A and B are shown apart, each in its own frame.
Chain A
Amino acid sequence: MSLNKSMAIKTIAIISALAFIVPTTSATAAPKFKLCVALGGIPGILGALGTTGDPIAKAGAKKRGWDYYEVSNKLDAPTAVKNADLIVQQKCSALIQFNGRPEVNPTIAKKLAKAKIPVITYDIAQPGWYFLGIDNLAAGKAGGAALGKLIKEKWNCQPDLVLESHGYGAGIVDAMRTGGMVEGLKSVCPDIDKSKFKPFEGNGEIAVSQPAARDILAANPTAKKIAVVGLNDAGVVGSLLAARQLGSGYEAMGWGQDGNLIAGDKVDPDLKGSVLYFLEGYSAYAFEVLDAIAKKSAPKMRDGAVNPAILVKPCPVSAAQAQGIPVDSVRIKKLAQDPSKTLYSIYCPK
């Protein structure tokens, strides 16, 4: 009996010890957090990252001791859908997604929701995915105000025409960005007559904005001092070129958005500045949400461009300031060395 008693005590002791050990062991055996990245699609920096990989996301994952897996969505909807299956197979803990074929995003979203994989999407909103994007309204206002200062300085706030190169297909993004530029411009020059603002479809492309701007200038033959705002640099540059094509009598200046045509040595002489978003450094911001997910305290879902999970701060730069900022490949290398920073904090002129 005493033997049985001592055995019972031992058994209880072993079971008690196991009760402590088992959860500890199971916690150790739990799979590591795995960050997956699927970028690539439309031309541009985020498209290029799909081909070359995202060094910022990779460096951030490495720093945190996470596993890392990346695929390219290319410019192909079936590839993006196939990638979603791979992400599920890989048992990813979270996904960073940029898909240039958003028509298949609902299909991808279903697959990932079934596998309970949270997603952070760049610039293209999808219900149920954390939206990370630029603060378009702030970007617009900052660019418009910067151009306004130049107009005040050079033309005493009296341009003959303000061309608004919209990209209506971009919806709310265009409304906030181009509309924001008009707002920013008016904040400096509030007395510019409403009739001088000429909105038109530039589609964010030189091939579209240039002929459209030419036609508007032809229809306003007395206008010679031309200010240009727009959805992006290309839409603005197309309009500036249109003014030069129509003759030397025009004096034009514009301020762009996205910084695509302001860096390097091939800058349009009338593009006075742009607003940089540092798209190539988006992943540095994504870790704000990823860290929370990894700690099992996922933030409240904010999946719209109007109410995004993470807002990226825009950086307005003049053409002269832009010359001091290195190209995106150099910027990426610099940020990858310390992904706890952002490109804004490193490069945006104070």
Chain B
Amino acid sequence: MTHLSSSRFKVPSLRKSADSEYLATILILLAVWIFLVVISVINRSDFLSKATFSAVTFNMCIIGILAIGQGFVVISGGILDLSITVSMLITSFMIVVFYDRGWNTPLLIIVSILCAGVFGLFNSILVVWLRINPLIVTLATGFAGGGVLLIVFDRGLVDPKSSIADFGTSHLFGFPTAWWPMALLTIGAHFFFKYSRFGRHFLAVGGNPLSSKAMGISLKQMRVATFVGASIIGGIAGIVFAGFTPEIRPNAGTYYMLPVIAAVVLAGFSLAGGRGSFLALFVSVGFLSTIPTALVFFGLESIWQTFIQGFILIIAVSIDAYRIVKVKGR
């Protein structure tokens, strides 16, 4: 541990350069976001309204939480968790099951999220002990998990009179109530990865697993914590999803994967692991969530967002690939 602590003090310049890079990413994203808002206002002055604000912040809720979970996996070197929407749906379905059995709300939320955590544990067992590529594992468990949900549940109906349904439509301090978990998770993730030792272990493992191992960090433990943690975060998205969606279908997660990955890559998270800012991720989610609303103001259907998000993803991945090549070339 002493060795680890001392090694940490050897890299302040690297951390400083990373911080300035993150700041630059945030500023660029903010500039692009503001530009989008400005041209939308020029197009139609009523773009700046309470309804637009609500629409955008509601758009952010689920995508934002899932992006934090995905960012957690990416930053820790797990590449991507393609089953994170299954974690979300497991929680949503379990909420319905426990609610119908008369459980009280706090208990059903906790147990439902833990169910998602068990799914993450299953993922990590396959990744760590069977040494299968995380991308393949989560792709497979994503399909298999969706299939199991289809067989077991077919669909889940949320009671419109329940507190979960109320959570999905109410407001708190001017924002949708469902927006706050995403905002708090963003702040929590930022401080966790920047200031806690455990958080920096994830960054270290993601950036350079061999050096981390040499420093005494257990790669297995970190990988397990990564997938369990990501699934739990996915489970938190499941609460919001249950609040938004009175009829839960096992295939509903498919609509979130593209914007979530686009948000993570656009925020500058390296798919090679070890780098990324959760504050930049917040801005990235905000920008991507504004696009569909702005499109409608421009007279286009919000369905165009898929095309635009895909396009942005290609650009962002290309920039990341260029950055990796550049770093390797040094």
Contact between A201 and B245, CB atoms less than 8 A apart: no
Known A216-B296, A217-B55; contact A211-B155, beta-carbon cutoff 8 A: no
The verdict on A212 contacting chain B, using a C-beta distance below 8 Å, is yes
Q: Kindly list chain A residues whose C-beta atoms are within 8 Å of the C-beta of B250.
A: 43
Residue of A nearest to B52 (CB): A218
Report which residue of A43, A201, A219, A246 has the largest number of chain B beta carbons within 10 angstroms of its beta carbon. A219
CB-contacts of B278-330 with A (<8 A): 292-293, 295-297, 301-303
Which of A216, A238, A266 sits near B158, CB closer than 8 Å? A266
Nearest chain-B residue to A206 (Cβ)?
Answer: B245
Known interface pairs A206-B245, A215-B292, A215-B296; A201-B255 also in contact (CB < 8 Å): no
> Do the beta carbons of B52 and A260 come within 8 Å of each other?
no
Q: Considering the chains assembled together, what is the distance between the CA atoms of A265 and B59 in angstroms?
A: 29
**Which residues of A are found within 8 Å of B159, using beta-carbon distances?**
265-266
Query: Are B49 and A264 in contact, CB atoms less than 8 angstroms apart?
Result: no
Question: Whose C-beta in chain A lies nearest to the C-beta of B255?
Answer: A207
In the assembled complex, the Cα of A210 lies from the Cα of B293 at a distance in Å of 12
Given contacts A215-B296, A218-B52, contact A208 B255 (CB under 8 A): yes
B176 part of interface (Cβ distance < 8 Å): yes
The CA of A237 and the CA of B55, in the complex, are separated in Å by: 17
What is the bound-complex CA distance between A238 and B176, given in angstroms? 17
Judged by a CB distance under 8 angstroms, whether A247 is at the interface is yes
Interface residues in A, total, Cβ within 8 A: 38
For residue B263, give the distance in angstroms from its CB to the closest CB of chain A: 15
Other-chain contact of B246, A200, A206, A211, A215 (Cβ < 8 Å): A206
Determine which of B49, B50, B244, B295 lies in contact with A241 in the assembled complex, contact meaning CB atoms within 8 Å: B244
* B 54-75 contacts with A by CB, 8 A: 54-55, 58-59
Q: Which chain B residues (35-65) contact chain A, with CB distance < 8 Å?
A: 44, 46, 49-52, 54-55, 58-59
Q: Do A48 and B154 contact each other (CB < 8 Å), given the known contacts A218-B54, A218-B296?
A: yes
Q: Does B133 contact A (CB under 8 A)?
A: no
**Is B268 an interface position by the 8 A CB rule?**
no
Given A205-B252, A211-B302, A268-B160, also A221-B247 (CB < 8 A)? no
B228 to chain A, nearest CB (A): 26
| A177–B166 CA distance with the chains assembled, in angstroms | 31
Q: Is residue B210 contacting chain A, with contact meaning CB distance below 8 A? A: no
B155 near A43 with CB under 8 A, answer: yes
| Cβ-defined contact, B246 with A241, below 8 A | yes
Chain B contact patch, size range? 35 or more
Contact A237 B246 (CB under 8 A): yes
Residue contact B169 to A266, C-beta cutoff 8 Å: no
Contact of B154 among A47, A201, A237, A246 (CB under 8 A): A47
The answer on a CB contact under 8 Å between B296 and A241 is no
A241 and B302 within 8 A (CB): no
Q: A200 and B301 in contact (CB under 8 A), knowing A43-B249, A241-B168, A266-B158?
A: yes
Q: Is the CB of A268 within 8 A of B154?
A: no
**In the complex, which of the residues A216, A217, A238, A241 has the most CB atoms of chain B within 10 Å of its own CB atom?**
A241
Given the interface pairs A43-B155, A205-B252, A246-B51, the reply to whether A221 lies near B150 with Cβ below 8 Å is no
Report B-chain residues with C-beta under 8 Å of the C-beta of A207: 244-245, 249, 252, 255
Q: Are A261 and B247 within 8 A (Cβ)?
A: yes
- Is there contact, CB below 8 Å, between B244 and A210? yes
- The answer to whether A75 touches B59 (Cβ under 8 A) is no
Please report the C-alpha to C-alpha distance between residue A261 and residue B157 in the assembled complex, in whole angstroms. 9
- List of B residues within 8 angstroms of A201 by Cβ: 301-303
Query: Which of B52, B54, B157 is within 8 Å of A264, CB to CB?
Result: B157
Contacts of B212 in A (CB 8 A): none
Per the bound structure, the CA–CA distance linking A313 and B150 in Å amounts to 29
B188: interface (CB < 8 Å): no
* Chain B positions 131-153 with a Cβ under 8 Å from a chain A Cβ: 147, 150
Find out whether the CB atom of A205 lies under 8 angstroms from the CB atom of B154: no
**Chain A residues within 8 Å of B158, by CB:** 266
Task: Check: A58 CB closer than 8 A to any chain B CB.
Answer: no
A261 touches B49 (CB 8 A): no
Are B168 and A200 touching (Cβ within 8 A)? no
Task: Assess whether A244 is interfacial by the CB under 8 Å rule.
Answer: yes
Contact A247 B50 (CB under 8 A): yes
Query: Chain A residues near B251 (CB, 8 Å)?
Result: 43
Nearest opposing residue in chain A for B291, CB measure: A215
* A212 contact from B52, B245, B246, B303, Cβ within 8 A: B303
Given A221-B46, A237-B246, A244-B169, A214 and B255 contact (CB-CB distance below 8 Å)? no
Choose one: B147, B169, B171, B293; the contact of A218 (CB below 8 Å).
B293
Known: A210-B245, A234-B247, A237-B247. 8 other contacts (CB 8 A): A201-B302, A206-B247, A207-B244, A207-B255, A215-B293, A238-B245, A246-B51, A268-B246
10 contacts between A and B (CB under 8 A): A43-B250, A206-B247, A211-B55, A211-B292, A215-B55, A215-B292, A245-B169, A245-B176, A247-B50, A247-B171
Residues of A within 8 A of B (CB): 43-44, 47-48, 75, 200-201, 205-208, 210-212, 214-219, 221, 233-234, 237-238, 241, 244-247, 260-261, 264-269
Mark B residues whose CB is within 8 Å of A: 44, 46, 49-52, 54-55, 58-59, 147, 150, 154-155, 157-160, 168-169, 171, 176, 244-247, 249-252, 255, 292-293, 295-297, 301-303
